[in-house]
Structure 1
Amino acid sequence: MSLTIGDALPDISLPATGDKTISLRDCRGQILVLYFYPRDDTPGCTQEGQDFRDHFADFQAKNALILGVSRDSVKKHEKFKLKYEFPFDLLADEEEKLCAIFDIVKAKNMYGKQVRGIERSTFIFDKDGILRHEWRKVKIPDHVKTVLACVEALNQ
């Protein structure tokens, strides 16, 4: 089972950077951009995080909250966030609870071996906590600009 457009934000809390526990239910009242990425400090994940960082002020101006999610630990997230100066929090889903709700852990080929990993995905929830947009199998170039355009449309 996986969330689909029109579904409500799941009621789940996860440990996050900044010594926080973030409850998704508490994110209602603003647009939520939830992006899932495979691993901290890898080339694609770093570029995606930097793209969100570089457009952070634009998202803030549209009353949008950005949260990144991977299966890495909070400790790894803290290093990753500090190294690249990400102004948003990263959630640690080590037990794959949130990943399961979104059905984004998939079998992948890595160097000829089958491994389970996060399929790079982004989801936008409106101010009422309803899923309005989703992207699966994300390709990084221009993705953040596309997400920002959808956030802008939700604000109108």
Structure 2
Amino acid sequence: MSVTLGQPVPDFTAQTTGDTTVTLSELKGKQVVIYFYPKASTPGCTTEGGDFRDRKQAFDTANTVILGISRDGLRAQENFKAKQEFNFELISDKDESVCKLFDVIKLKKLYGKEHLGIERSTFLIDKDGKLAREWRKVKVPGHVDEVLEAAQALHAG
């Protein structure tokens, strides 16, 4: 089962940085941005996370929670968050349960070798828990501004 635009996103609970867990249904009433990135502490993922960090106040104003997610373990996520001073939580999805829910595990090629990995993707969930927007095969430059504009428009109604 995978997420569909305009439909409620199935509830999930996941381990996050800050020694906490997040349950999607507990965030009802707020908009949620979930962005999937391939690997903590790599250049593109660091840039993308920094863009979200630098615009967090604007997302807060638009009643939007930011969650970053990858298959990295919790320690790697904690280190990444601390080093980059991210002001939002990161989810460790080692078992790929959330990745599979959003269908972001894809066959990728690196140096001529094929492997399964996370395709950089972002999802915007409305305050009622429905999938409002999705961005797949994301290119980092300018992406966070586009997500912010969508979150602001959705919040404004």
TM range (shorter): over 0.9
Matches within 5 A, 1:1-156: 1-156=1-156
Tell me how far 1:2 sits from its aligned partner.
Answer: 2.4
State how far apart, in whole Å, the 2-side matches of 1:108 and 1:9 are: 26
Q: Unaligned regions of 5+ residues in structure 1, if any?
A: none
Q: Which whole-Å CA distance do the structure 2 matches of 1:94 and 1:7 have between them?
A: 26
Q: Percent identity?
A: 51
Rounded to whole Å, the distance in 1 between the matches of 2:121 and 2:56 is 18
Secondary structure of residue in 2 paired with 1:8: coil
Within 2, Cα distance between the matches of 1:11 and 1:33?
15
The residue matched to 1:155 in structure 2 has which SS? helix
Distance 1:93 1:27 in 2: 19
CA distance in 1, matches of 2:3, 2:21: 22
Count of aligned pairs between the two proteins: 156
| Alignment RMSD | 0.7
1:12-61 deviation line (CA, Å, top 9, x unaligned): 11110000011111111101000000000000000000000010111011
Amino acid at match of 1:56: K
The two structures have a TM-score, normalised by structure 1, of: 0.98
Q: TM-score, normalised by structure 2?
A: 0.97
Quick one: which amino acid aligns to residue 25 of structure 1?
A: S
SS at match of 2:141: coil
- Counterpart-to-counterpart distance in 1, 2:10 and 2:49: 23
Q: Distance in 2 between matches of 1:39 and 1:53?
A: 17
Runs of 4+ in 1 over 2 A off after TM superposition: none
Q: Deviations over 1:52-87 (max 9, x none)?
A: 001011101111000001000111100000000000
Question: Which residue identity lines up with residue 10 of structure 1 in the other structure?
Answer: P
Letter paired with 2:135: W
